[in-house]
Amino acid sequence: MSTKADYSKDEWDSLLKAPLMAAMAVVAASPSGPIGAIQEMFAVGKGLIEGTQGTTNALISDVVADVKAGNRPPTPAERPKDLAQAKAQALGACREVAALLARKAPGEADGFKRWLLGTAQRAAEAAKEGGFLGIGGVQVSDAEKAALGEVAGALGLKA
């Protein structure tokens, strides 16, 4: 069982930002406008808070506890210039976390990665795509479904 003490500051920061990065890949794939973006990010926060319910994965519990305590990883020095770059950066972060977990927490890696994918799924389902003023549209767009598959692939999971 790994805990925060088993990780360097940079590694821990990668784990702290991983839920947001997983969700960002989906958000960048199919922007929902300002209100939809707020709903999607709220869903990520809610997923973090609910992330420890019923889990025996100590790593998830430690990450959620750190986030609840107000600890946030530093923002990247280079901000993405567009949505495609934001998505690529987010998927790269997911790949890095998957590799980190494979090295340091192989027993907890699968559960943690599934939790991250669940966080991205919550973001995808948070706001309807298409339609007008909430009428019509779909809950998860084709672009979001494709992005969820890419997140799963970056994490080394089957979608």
So where are the chain's domains?
8-69+78-155
> What's the pLDDT tens digit per position in 77-117?
677 788 889 899 999 999 999 999 999 999 999 999 999 99
Whole-model pTM? 0.85
CA separation for the pair 111, 88 (Å, rounded) = 23
Exposure on the CB side of residue 151, measured as CA atoms within 13 A:
31
Among 8-12, 18-22, 24-28, 41-45, the minimum mean pLDDT is found in 41-45
- In one-letter notation, the amino acid at residue 55 is T
Tell me what pLDDT residue 132 has.
Answer: 56
Q: Whole-number mean pLDDT of the chain?
A: 84
Q: Tokens 């027993």, residue?
A: 107
Average pLDDT over residues 1-15: 91
Q: b/e per residue, 117-145, with b = 16+ CB within 10 A?
A: bebbbbbbebbbbeeeeeeeeeebbeebb
> What's the pLDDT tens digit per position in 112-151?
999 999 888 888 887 666 555 555 566 678 888 999 999 9
